[in-house]
A = this chain, B = another copy of it.
Amino acid sequence: MHFTSEQRLDDGVLEREFTLGEIPGTLWTPESADPAPLVLMSHNNGLPKADPRLVARARYTAAHGYAVATIDAAGCGDRPRSAADEQARADLRRAMQAGEPVDEIFESLIGPLVENAVPEWRATLDALLEQPGIGGPVGYSGGWTALGIRLAVAEPRIAAAGFFAGGFVPRAQREEARQVTVPLLFLLQWDDEGNPRQRALDLFDAFGSKEKTLHANLGGHTGTPWFELEDGCRFLDRHLK
């Protein structure tokens, strides 16, 4: 893990860019010298790690006392795109503009993206836990629910997970949701146009966790109210601190 740049933010949080082999990532750490619990934070389906909403969430969570890390998935953000990546995205855009069903396109696009991302996130987790000032237990906080489900099942170090319901979850992850057993906070935007509400409620119902909480708020995909940031940190506090 090589740090390539750093800046100290107003609230004392240190924001560092890093690379781990081909993987570009960002790490935010709080000012305190104590080992901070680690939160892996993702954005939905290959949105770039530099997305302002992800960055705002990460900075807030770090200022709250967590080490927060994110990486770009293969073919996303700062990473080179293959011709196949470009083609799949073009197919998706065309289908959406034409008002055609997109479930199968999403399935073929997101399914492999999740499978490929998991070993990269686990390698990043290994490397992060060797850094000074970062300790366990580990939380997952993600716009990318499908990745979170896969990681929560495959990675025993993850002790709690916050998911956002507003994104496509492939069949494989919908099926393995019942194998997720860590405490869960599931965020739903009640009027999220592109994401059927019933599918999200069914997914919440399917999780195997004994402690799971759904927070639903009025409004569309990007309308999550600010107080859910606070609630998300308190959820992590209950399980990681």
- A212 B217 Cβ-Cβ under 8 A: yes
Q: Which of A3-11, A35-43, A120-128, A203-211 contacts B (4 or more CB under 8 A)?
A: A203-211
How distant is the Cα of A46 from the Cα of B190 in the complex, in angstroms?
32
Whole-angstrom distance between the Cβ of A8 and the nearest chain B Cβ: 30
A214 touches B211 (CB 8 A): no
List residues of chain B with CB within 8 A of the CB of A209: 218
Residue of B nearest to A235 (CB): B227
Asked whether any CB of chain B lies closer than 8 Å to the CB of A34, the reply is: no
Interface string of A174-209 (1 = CB under 8 A from B): 000000000000000010000000000100110001
In contact, A217 and B213 (Cβ under 8 angstroms): yes
Contact of A213 among B212, B215, B230 (CB under 8 A): B215
Within 8 Å of chain B (Cβ to Cβ): is A231?
yes
Residue pair A190, B218 in contact (C-beta under 8 Å): no
CB pair B215 A215 closer than 8 Å: yes
Shortest C-beta distance, A7 to chain B (Å), equals 32
Which of A's residues lie within 8 Å of B, judged by CB?
190, 201, 204-205, 209-218, 225, 227, 230-231, 234, 238
Selected A-B contacts with CB under 8 Å, 19 pairs: A204-B216, A209-B218, A210-B218, A211-B217, A211-B218, A211-B225, A212-B217, A212-B218, A213-B215, A213-B217, A213-B218, A214-B214, A214-B215, A214-B216, A214-B217, A215-B215, A227-B234, A227-B238, A231-B231
Considering the complex of A and B, which 5 residue pairs feature the smallest CB-CB distances, nearest first?
Answer: A214-B216, A213-B217, A212-B218, A215-B215, A213-B215
Do A205 and B190 form a contact, CB below 8 Å, given A215-B214, A217-B212? Answer: yes
Nearest opposing residue in chain B for A186, CB measure: B216
